[in-house]
Structure formats: C-alpha cells, structure tokens
Amino acid sequence: MSTQTPQGIVDAKRQAVTARARIDTDVAALQARLHPKVLAQDALTGVREKTDQLTDTAVATARKRPAAAAAVGGVVGMVILRKPLRGLYRLLFRRHREDDDLPVGRVKLRQARRAAAAQRRDDVYASDTNQDTTSPADIRTAAGTTE
C-alpha cells in the first residue's frame, strides 16, 4: 500500500482536474480549427494569397518582356476564341460567290448529292438498251414529284 498522506491525495486530485481542464481546452481548440467553415476559409485565404503572388510575378515578368507577354496573350486568346475565329475564317476566306455552282451548306449539299445520284440513275437507265425507253426522270415528271 502506498503511504500517501491525505494532502498528497488532494494534490493528485488537483493535478488530475488541471490536466482534464487542459485536455478539454485542447480538444475545444482542435474542434474549432477543424470546423468545416474554418477549413474552407483557411483554404480560400491560401488560394487568394497564392493568386496575388502569381499575379504580381506575372505582371513583373510582363513588364520585363512585353513582346513575350503579348505573344503568350495572343496564343491564350486564340485558344479561348478558337471556335468564333474558325467561323470568321470560313466567312472571310471560304465563302462561295453567287456565280459559283458549288453548293453551300448541308441542305444544298444534300440536294446536290441527290440530284447527282438521280442523274447517274438516269444515265445508267439510258445506257441499258434492254429496258423500256421511259426514264425514271420521265416517270417522276409525270407523277409530279422532283427531288
């Protein structure tokens, strides 16, 4: 058995209470630091600081080398605007004139393909001497339908 005096027991209980209070404050501090809102705010603050730092570095570099910065900006702009630029290129350089007999657009291309297929059928039919002399085009015209 231990030979502690009642004063030793009182001191041990006092130390235990103090240790519990210290642990409780540590747990409360950890819970406060690990709260999701606090974690999100810390992350946002870190991102803002890093963004500010990168922006300052980029501005300083652009001031040192303006031609390189303009080239990089142009490339980034072209990548971002590639679809509108492609449409503008097609409008300016690949547009067919009215006097061209090339089809423009999917609908006209489809119509041109159908007309070419009908013409091929007519040519094959006309070259076949064993058939009746009535061509598919004549049949379509008599029926009142055209493709």
Structure confidence at residue 4 (pLDDT): 59
Structure confidence at residue 64 (pLDDT): 95
Structure confidence at residue 1 (pLDDT): 47
Reduced to 3 states (helix: H, G, I; strand: E, B; else coil), residue 65 is coil
pTM of this structure: 0.38
Structure confidence at residue 73 (pLDDT): 92
**Tens-level pLDDT at each residue, the chain (147 residues):** 455 578 888 889 999 999 999 999 999 999 888 888 988 999 999 999 999 999 999 999 999 999 999 999 999 999 999 988 888 887 777 755 554 555 456 677 778 888 888 888 877 766 665 555 566 666 667 666 655
Secondary structure (DSSP) of 63-132: HH-HHHHHHHHHHHHHHHTHHHHHHHHHHHHSPPPTT--S--HHHHHHHHHHHHHHHHHHHHHHH-TTS-
Structure confidence at residue 6 (pLDDT): 83
103: tokens are 């089809």
2: tokens are 């231990």
Domains of the chain, by residue range, sit at: 66-95, 105-147
